[in-house]
Every structure is written in structure tokens, then in C-alpha cells.
Amino acid sequence: MKTPIALDLEQRILVIDGAMGTMIQQHKLSEADFRGARFAEWPVSLKGNNDVLSLTQPDIIRNIHLAYLEAGADIIETNTFSSTSVAMADYGMEALAHELNVASAQLAREAITLYLQKHPEDRRQIYVAGAIGPTNKTLSLSPDVNDPGFRALSFDALTEAYCTQIEGLYTGGADLLLIETVFDTLNAKAALVAAARVAKQLGKSLPIMISGTITDASGRTLSGQTTEAFLYSLMHAPLLSIGFNCALGAKEMRPYLEELAQKAPFFISAYPNAGLPNQFGAYDQDAHHMGHDIEDFLKAGFLNIVGGCCGTTPEHIQRIAQLARNCKPRKKPLPDSLMHLSGLEGFTLRPESNFMNIGERCNVTGSKQFLRLIKASQFEAAITVAREQVEGGAQALDINMDEGLLDSAAAMTRFLQLLAAEPDIARIPIVIDSSKWSVLEAGLKCVQGKAIVNSISLKEGTQVFLNQARHIASFGAAVVVMAFDEKGQADTLQRRIEICARAYHLLTQQAGFAPQDIILDPNIFPVATGMDEHRRNALDFFEATAWIKAHLPHAKVSGGLSNVSFSFRGNDTVREALHACFLFHAIAHGMDMGIVNPSQLIVYDSIEPELRTRVEDVLLNRRPDATERLIEWAEQLKGIKTEKLQADAAWRNASLQERITHALVKGITEYIEPTWPNAKKFLLSL
Ligand code: THG
């Protein structure tokens, strides 16, 4: 059902108010003014704590709201940008967070009542948006230059703080929640999780607006995301609107707004600063000048909600309102049904896309090298494993820390937080791989992008499955479901189909999952094991894949490719041939993605024909002696090395200087050796 504001937005462009800070500054308030009588003895200086003015100088705040209403604002923002316990800690006012939000929302409501009493002829619906700032801490970046994995705040602590803020905004009478000035989508996800939690508690949900901020000229958020990645990271929530505010002013915002307007299935908002800040941090763009840039957006049809941020005044809003009245609102595009993922950049899987490679090597059970590094806490070197895969063509990275002797949740957290600091790796989406729910949960709290959770299953029944799925959905991640139920792992075609269909229907009908975010894994098992019941392992996977693609709309199919060749461990030639042939047939049956070693994938056509025949005899179960014949061939091959096109080979062949440069730039420490035992200095023996 459409909310009243959604219906309103279909008819007209709504105007959101301008800056609170600039208006407060004009009053030249003293320390004593900020404190008022109530906080006269407060041990910390309160000058600059604008939000506390809702308690100590309510008339000033109410009058600012009134000025914006007189200027034509349809949405006024509460004075609560920093009213979380996290941001209020600067003033020792953590405990006042709830009260501040209640008071500020009430002030905005009062201002609307006063305005409407004065202007009974004005029949517009006017809304109070509860302003929810990003706080002064970012969940995806370290404030400590010496430890890129450090975080000043946890996801859970921020979520708690947002819950308190949002409850206060509800109590005070806000109509909307405005999660604004988003510089890190992980912070915004915490706000979304909090909003959903409060809505459930109170049995009422307010429409949610999200507004991000692009702070550098290359078009990225502070935490490094592009517009597309920003959108995909937050698109799971049933948003009223998405847009940008603050930052570099209207003109600089244009290309990013244009992109959002094209891609987002929500209403679009923009409330920029009055131009770029000058050398004193003030804003010079007057109403006329800013109006000129805004008019361009309006005429281009980008917008549904428009207003101003830092440096804007009622004069600016009046001009913007005038312009908005004369323009038609943008029409929302219909949501597509493509799978969108993101790291720092967006990724979209289209029907015409090639097979998607998920790098398998950052897996403590799947790589002895990676296990050794993680066990020795050599996280920096472990990061190199991730980088090599990206360079080798991985389009997403599978991370698995499931090893009995490790604190897997802690290792997952640490590794993901370090990865976030590597822009060339964090570019691509993360696949959080674990068979332990606690590890998956920990991983979700570390990634700002739209990730894949790998995996859940029906092993423990419907209820556990649904609870886990709903939790994953609240973080916006896609999910891999293994074909496993209460009775065990699916090992026939029929069981694969049955379990995948059941999971798909539960996810779409009861867990609110978008079908394109469901990835079914119908179990890739080893072939040529010598066991008769394994003869159809590959064939059943292929046929299950085809069935899924034909019967479960928009669902994706994935699998762990290297599993298929476990019985040929140590024989890379046969393993690579098995992988290439398996993929060739699986893709033909509709497999969309897989966990693979991207730099070790070879081309189907390059396989020696006799080997290929023998491999396919096994995969397709074409003859009773297929396994013997492949083993026979494998024996004969032992010792012959294949020429692997390793992705790093090229730089390893370059000149010493070039190798040093490459290693320094990419932070590859693998080839550095000490010149003598316990040396403090290292020689680059590249
Ligand atoms: N489905 C889903 N997730 C999965 C799997 C799956 N995650 C884990 C696994 N299976 C996929 N990942 C790997 C990673 C490595 C290997 C196999 C699967 C592998 N490793 C070499 C080996 O064991 O011989 C290790 C060699 C080395 O130590 O370097 O084969 O099916 N959803």
C-alpha cells in the first residue's frame, strides 16, 4: 500500500528545508546560551552543540522551522543530526539522546501547527523528517593510520544508538526517517537495521529516506563507494527515496544524481550545499545562483524532493520552492530483476553476462597456504592472496575461516576489516563463507557493500532457515542456499530439485527475499571416486541446474568447482581438465557463478582431445569404465607440468626496479626476505 507521502510525491516535487547550522550561527550564541539554565553547570563545553538547543533555546529552533515553512518547505528536518549517544559523547551527553530526539521532533510538529494556524488557506501536507546523521565515527574505516583493521565503533553499538534515536523521533511525532549525509553505507545499514527493529517493536513503520554524500571530485563517498555501489548497498530496504546532500554543491552533484535517477527504483532527493565552501568554510552561492543549478536538475527530470544543505537559508528555499512548483516530478523506473552486488564498485549480473568467477583461495580449509598465514596471524600476507585473485580475474571473493583451532568469527572480522582498507581488492563484492551462523553474522557486520552470504540450508528445519534468511535480508545481502535439509545432503537429482524449490519458495514467500538475490547450490560432489553411487554426481548437478533455471524465476545457480576433482588431488592437469569440462557443461545448463581458482581456469578447447573425452565420459556418465580410463590416463600424465598462465607471472618477469615498484605499490610482501636472521632491515630479493 502506498503511503500518503508516496501519493503526494507522484503529484508534485516536494521541497525539503535548508540548513539548520547556518541559521543558528546567525544568532551568534555564547557558551552560556548553549547551556541555558539547565546545563549551566555541565562539566563540558557545549558551544557548538546545535542539537542541545532544542532543549535550551527551543524558540530559536522553532523559529528556524517556521522560517523554512514560510519559505515553502514541505518537509522540515528535526534538529537531531547528532542526537545519538555516539555523537553526543563529545559533550558527555550520551544519556540525553532519547530526550533530544523527542524534543526536536515535537518542536518541528509545533512549528507546523503554528504555521497552519497562521495560514489556514495553505492546504499542503507538511512532513517532519527525523534527521539521522552518520555520527562522527565510520564503521568501514580506521581512524588509526597504523592499524587499518581498527574500528572506533562496532556495528552493534551503532545500531543500539540508532534505535534510541529512532524511538525518540517516533515518540516526538516524526513522519519520516531521514538517514542523511551517508558517508559509509555500513553506518547507514546500522540505521536501517535499527529502523526495522523499532518499527517491529512499535508496530508502526515510518517511510525512510536515504541521502548520501559524495565528498571527492572522483565521485566517491568517504568510504570509497561509487554512486552505483552506494545504491546497491542500500537498495534492499523499502525506501521512500534516495539521493544526495551536502558536499560539493549542486553543480558537482549532477552526474551522480543523473545516475541515481536512472537506476534507483525510489523517489530521488537532492539538497546540496550553497556551492563549494570558500577558504573560510563558508558558502557564497546566493539563492539566485544556486537556483540556477537546481533548475537544471528539475528540468532534466532528475528529482522528486529538493532543498538545501549547508549554507542555504530560507531565501534559497523560497527560490527552490518557486522553481519546483513549475516542474514535473520524475517518474520512478520500475525495479529490474537483475542481481546487483557491490564492493566499492557496483556489479550487475545480467542474462547476457559471462559466468561469474568467485575467488576460492581465501579459504582456510581450501588452501594450506592461506591457513598457514591466518594461523600465524600474518594477515598482511593473507591479503596478498586476495589481491592475486582479483588480479587473476575474480569478480567476487569467497572468504572462509572455518577451522577448528581458529576463532573463526574474530578471524573473519579482522580479515574483512583489513580488506576494506585495500581499494583495489574491496572494489569487488565479498562472499562470506562459513557453515557457522555466528561467523556469517559477524561477517555481515563488516561489509558496507552488498555481499553474498554463503551459506544457509534447511538442515535445521524451516524455522531456523527463515530466521537466518530474514536476518540476512535485513543487511541486504544475497544468499547461497546449499541443497541440504533435515534428512541430509541432496545426493540425487530429485532431492536437489525438491530442496532447492522448497528453499526458494520459503525465501520468496515468507522471508521477503528478492528472487534474484537467491543463489542455489545443488552440490558439486567429487567424481571418479570409484563408488557406483557417485556416477551421476556431475550429471545430477547439471540437470538440477537446468531445472532450477527453468522453474525458479530469477534464482541463480552456483557451486564450488574444485570439489569436483578432489579424487585427483596432486594432479593439476586432470583437475584443470575436469574443471574446464565441468564448467563448460554446467554453464550450458545455466550455472551463473562458481567458487573457482580464477587464475587456474583453462579453456575447454585447449584440453588435449583424448583427455577431454575421458573426462567427459566421467562427467556425463557415458561408459561403465569411465573412471578406470581417466585414472589410467592420469597415471600416465603424472609429472608433466602444465603451463599455467598465472596472473602474477608477468610482473615477476619484469626488471628488478619494476618488480620493486610493483611490490611496493601493491603491498606484496611475499617475496621479501631478510638479509640475515632476525634482521631489522630487509632486502627485496625480488
Ligand atoms: N559450495 C559453496 N561454498 C563452498 C563450496 C561449495 N565453499 C568452499 C568450497 N566448496 C569451495 N572452495 C574450495 C576451495 C579450495 C578447494 C576446493 C574448494 C581446493 N583446494 C585445494 C585442495 O584441497 O586440493 C587446496 C590446495 C592448496 O592447499 O593450495 O580444492 O561447494 N556454496
Q: What is the 3-state secondary structure (H, E, C) of 468-489?
A: HHHHHHHHCCEEEEECEECCEE
Q: Ligand 1 within 6 A of 369 CB?
A: yes
End-to-end CA distance of the chain: 64
- Give φ, ψ of 229 to 5 degrees: -65, -40
CA 646 and chain centroid, separation: 30
Partners of 337 in beta bridges: none
In the DSSP assignment, the letter for residue 339 is E
* 562 CA from centroid of ligand 1 (Å): 5
Residue 344 included in any domain? yes
**Whose CA is closest to atom 24 on ligand 1?**
569
Question: Per DSSP, which regions of 477-569 are E strands?
Answer: 478-482, 484-485, 488-489, 518-521, 556-557
* CB neighbourhood size of 405 (10 A): 8
Are residues 313 and 70 in contact, defined by beta-carbon separation less than 8 angstroms? no
Co-location of 315 and 397 in the same domain: no
CA 641 to chain centre: 41
| Domain-embedded: residue 600 | yes
Our answer on whether the CB atom of 134 is closer than 6 Å to any ligand 1 atom is: no
Q: Which letter does DSSP use for residue 16 in this model?
A: B
Q: Is 359 in the pocket of ligand 1 (CB under 6 A)?
A: no
Ligand 1 neighbourhood includes 433 CB (under 6 angstroms) = yes
DSSP annotation of 684? E
366 & 467 share domain? yes
The region that residue 203 occupies, defined by phi over 0 for left and psi between -120 and 50 for alpha, beta otherwise, is left
Q: E-strand spans in 123-207?
A: 127-132, 176-182
Asked, for residue 333, whether it belongs to a domain, the answer is no
Q: Which of 325, 351, 372 is the last residue of a domain?
A: 325
Ligand 1 neighbour 360 (Cβ under 6 A) = yes
Instruction: State whether the beta carbon of 366 lies less than 6 angstroms from ligand 1.
Output: yes
CA distances to 111, 112, 460 from 69, rounded to whole Å, are 8, 8, 55
Q: Which long-range contacts does 604-607 make (Cβ < 8 Å, 24+ apart)?
A: 604/580, 606/580, 607/577, 607/580, 607/581
Q: Confirm or reject: Cβ of 365 under 6 Å from ligand 1.
A: no
Question: Considering the domain boundaries, does residue 50 fall inside one?
Answer: yes
Q: Which amino acid is at 372?
A: R
Cβ atoms 219, 439 nearer than 8 A: no
Residue nearest to atom 3 of ligand 1 (CA): 560
Distance 576 CA to ligand 1 centre (A): 14
Asked if residue 17 has its Cβ within 6 Å of ligand 1, the reply is: no
Report, as ranges of residue numbers, the positions in the chain whose pLDDT lies below 50. Answer: 641-648, 674-686
In angstroms, rounded to a whole number, what is the distance separating the alpha carbons of residues 366 and 562? 9
Q: What's the pLDDT score for residue 639? A: 52
Report the CATH number that the domain containing residue 580 is assigned in CATH: 3.20.20.20
Q: Are 651 and 638 in contact (CB under 8 A)?
A: no
Cα gap 341→65, rounded to integer Å: 39
- Output 508-514 pairs: Cβ under 8 A, ≥24 positions apart: 510/466, 511/466, 511/469, 511/470, 511/473, 512/470, 512/473, 513/469, 513/473, 513/479, 514/236, 514/337, 514/554
Q: Establish whether residue 600 lines the binding site of ligand 1, counting it when its CB lies within 6 angstroms of any ligand atom.
A: no
CB 341 within 8 A of CB 450: yes
| Distance of alpha carbon 99 from alpha carbon 76, whole angstroms | 19
Q: Which of 277, 306, 243, 289 is nearest to 17 (CA)?
A: 306
Q: Which residue, of 268, 298, 325, is where some domain finishes? A: 325
Q: Are residues 357 and 266 in the same domain?
A: no
The alpha carbon of 399 and the centre of ligand 1 are apart by a number of angstroms equal to 11
32 and 141 belong to one structural domain: yes
Calculate how far, in angstroms, residue 547's C-alpha sits from the geometric centre of ligand 1.
25
- How much is the pLDDT for 685? 36
3-state class percentages of the chain: helix first, strand second, coil last, to nearest 5: 45, 15, 40
Distances from the Cα of 144 to the Cα of 88, 153, 448, angstroms? 21, 12, 19
Could you tell me if 100 and 203 lie in one domain? yes
Of 356, 358, 360, 439, which is best to mutate to test ligand 1, by the most ligand atoms within 8 angstroms of its C-beta? 360
Taking CA atoms only, the protein residue closest to ligand 1 atom 18 is: 562
Indicate whether residue 24 lines ligand 1 (CB < 6 A).
no
Q: What are phi and psi of 18, to 5 degrees?
A: -105, -160
Do 362 and 432 reside in the same domain of the chain?
A: yes
Residue 334: inside a domain: no
Does residue 654 share a domain with residue 558? no
Measured CA to CA, the distance from residue 445 to residue 441 in angstroms comes to: 7
- Residues 239, 199: one domain? yes
Ligand 1 atom 13, closest CA: 366
Give the number of domains in the chain.
3
Q: What does residue 594 show for φ and ψ, rounded to 5 degrees?
A: -160, 155
Task: Report the nearest-CA residue for atom 5 of ligand 1.
Answer: 560
Cβ(656)–Cβ(648) below 8 Å: no
Sign of CA dihedral 309, 310, 311, 314: positive
Q: How far is the CA of 559 from the centre of ligand 1 (A)?
A: 10
Instruction: Evaluate whether residue 49 is within a structural domain.
Output: yes
435 with 403: CB under 8 angstroms? no
What is the spatial distance between Cα 521 and Cα 501, in angstroms, rounded to a whole number?
12
Strands 305-306 and 267-272: parallel
Domain co-membership, 317 together with 345: no
Alpha carbon of 488 to ligand 1 centroid (Å): 20
DSSP assignment of 304-334 equals SEE---TT--HHHHHHHHHHHHTSPPPPPPP
455 lines ligand 1 (CB under 6 A): yes
Rounded Cα distance between 663 and 665, Å, is 6
Residues 271 and 349 grouped into a single domain: no
Ligand 1 site, residue 565, Cβ cutoff 6 A: no
Structural domain includes residue 238: yes
Q: Do 186 and 319 fall within a single domain?
A: yes
Which atom of ligand 1 lies nearest, measured to the CA of 565?
30
Query: Ligand 1: distance of its center to the CA of 599 in Å?
Result: 14
CATH number for 201: 3.20.20.330
Q: Is the CB of 567 inside a 6 Å radius of any atom of ligand 1?
A: no
369 with 515, same domain?
yes
In a domain, 232, yes or no: yes
Spell out the residues 6+ positions from residue 370 whose beta carbon is closer than 8 angstroms to its own: 361, 362, 363, 364, 382, 385
167 lines ligand 1 (CB under 6 A): no
In the numeric block, the cell 572494489 is attached to 427
The model's pTM is 0.92
CA of 1 to the centre of ligand 1 (A): 45
11 burial (CB, 10 Å; 0-12 / 13-18 / 19+) is exposed
Provide the domain limits for residue 650.
645-685
- Ligand 1 atom nearest 455 alpha carbon: 32
Q: How far is the CA of 517 from the centre of ligand 1 (A)?
A: 23
